[in-house]
Amino acid sequence: MTANLILEDVYTAYDKADVLEGVSLEARSGEITCLLGSNGAGKTTTIRSILGLTPPRAGNIKFNDAALTGMATHRIVGLGMSCIPEGRKVFPKLTTEENLRLGAYQQTDEKVIQQRIAEVYEIFPRLEERRDQLAGTMSGGEQAMVSIGRGLMSAPKMLLIDEPSLGLSPLYVKENFKIIQRINERGITVFLVEQNVRQTLAIAHRGYVLSKGRVVAAGTPEELRANEEVHAAYFG
């Protein structure tokens, strides 16, 4: 299962003002690659560019051998990419299991859907206990599990995860990062967008730091921790 993602000199604009300015990065198959940066750095715009929601005005994006530039979002998802959006965004008036089923909307074989639901419950036993509970009545941490589980229902090659620690208690943040690591160990490539630098670098294989729409640092977690600018900004 390969899942290489490459961005080459990507420029993305809103209302003619560039948010991303020449972003180049690579998420390698089988690894957790992180994109770090403060609010407004362009992290979510990077995800929107990859998924074709806000198409870049210049540059190239490739997933395996496919050129994503100009491709419709549903076709990009069909290539094996799944996104866990910022803020979880569960369907509050649907049950846990109904939310999960929505993640398998491209799958028509009920046996396959049941098998994938069973795999999600294996990762998140708490969700099986709450399979008939309305997602809107669950805690923030449980909703995060529903969101990740729904993302896994398409059997993705790559998961794009946007700010998984946002709004969660420290206990759930720690649990979420362990879960992301376990998902990666199952063979799913992860592109993780985060502000929580310490937790992210503890599980990532490689990372990039984004500032004002530009990549200002790249390397292994050890290299990023040793980078003076990164250390001053995040560990000072």
Selected residue with higher pLDDT from 44 and 86: 44
The predicted structure's pLDDT at residue 63: 96
Is 202 part of any domain? yes
Which tokens belong to 4? 């290489």
SS3 content of the chain, % helix, strand, coil (to 5): 40, 25, 35
- pLDDT tens, position by position, 4-45: 999 999 999 998 889 999 999 999 999 999 999 988 899 999
Q: Are residues 65 and 15 in the same domain?
A: yes
Residue 205 within any structural domain of the chain: yes
Average pLDDT for 87-100: 91
- Whether residue 178 is contained in a domain is answered as no
Mean pLDDT, range 160-180, rounded to an integer: 88
Average the pLDDT over 110-136 and give the result: 95
Judge if 76 and 161 occupy the same domain: yes
Check pLDDT > 90 for residue 229: no
Final residue belonging to a domain, choices 107, 130, 155: 155
* Domain containing residue 222: CATH number: 3.40.50.300
For residues 37 and 140, membership in a common domain is answered with no
Residue 2 pLDDT level (bands cut at 50, 70, 90)? low
As given in the structure block, the two tokens for residue 160 are: 């794009």
Shared-domain flag, residues 11 and 35: yes
pLDDT at 192 over 80: yes
Distance of CA 60 to the CA centre of its chain: 20
Residue 179 within any structural domain of the chain: no
Is residue 53, in this structure, part of any structural domain at all?
yes
Looking at the fold, whether 35 and 109 belong to one and the same domain comes out as: no
Q: Which residues are CB-neighbours of 91 under 8 A, at least 6 positions away?
A: 98, 99, 102, 135
| Structure token digits, residue 135 | 């997602």
Q: How far is CA 123 from CA 22, 26, 64, 130, 158, in A?
A: 38, 28, 27, 14, 17
Q: Are residues 234 and 209 in the same domain?
A: yes
- In a domain, residue 85? The reply is no
**What residues make up the domain containing 94?**
90-155
Statement to judge: residues 34 and 123 lie in one domain: no
Same domain, 149 and 224: no
Q: Which range among 86-90, 105-109, 122-126, 173-177 shows the weakest confidence by mean pLDDT?
A: 86-90
pTM comes to 0.90
- The C-alpha atoms of residue 56 and residue 13 are separated, in whole angstroms, by 7
